Amino acid sequence: METTSTRVLIVDDCETVRDGLSFSLSLYDNIIVVGSACNGQEAYTLCRDLKPDIVLMDVYMPVMDGLTATAHICQLAVGTKVILISQEHTSTLASRAYAAGAYRCIPKYALEDIYRVIQEAVP
């Protein structure tokens, strides 16, 4: 039985976070990191071009924040699901994330949770 890999785009204004997530997710056989971006505007452009299955998106970034970018990406209607990641994890932020169209909003540094949510999002 052939399994397909989940295509992930990583978006964070911190290069160290992008690199760390990219490396960590590359350890899973069923995930391919197809690109990374340092702000929401770059993420939107890459989503149009790459059509990833999942976008791991930081909330607070320059140029275009993650909530605004999520709303724009969800309007593309390419089947991409956005998982917002943040150091802050409050019910207010989660409500804003879901209102923008995010699939989930989870803590940034919980790698096992990030992987689990990716698996739930793309069965």
Query: What is the 3-class SS of 47-58, one letter each residue?
Result: HHHHCCCEEEEE
Is 94 within the bounds of a domain? yes
Is 74 within the bounds of a domain? yes
82 class by beta-carbon count within 10 Å (0-12 exposed, 13-18 middle, 19+ buried): buried
- pLDDT at residue 26 tops 60: yes
- The CATH number that applies at residue 74 is 3.40.50.2300
Distance CA 14, CA 63 (A): 14
Is 57 within the bounds of a domain? yes
Distance CA 117, CA 103 (A): 9
Among 6-10, 20-24, 94-98, the least confident range: 94-98
Q: What is the mean pLDDT of the chain?
A: 91
Is 1 within the bounds of a domain? no
pLDDT of 80-115, one tens digit each?
999 999 888 778 888 899 999 999 999 888 888 999
pLDDT of 60-84, one tens digit each?
999 999 999 999 999 987 789 999 9
Is 12 within the bounds of a domain? yes
Number of domains present in the structure of the chain: 1
Is 42 within the bounds of a domain? yes
Range of the domain at 38: 6-121
Is 65 within the bounds of a domain? yes
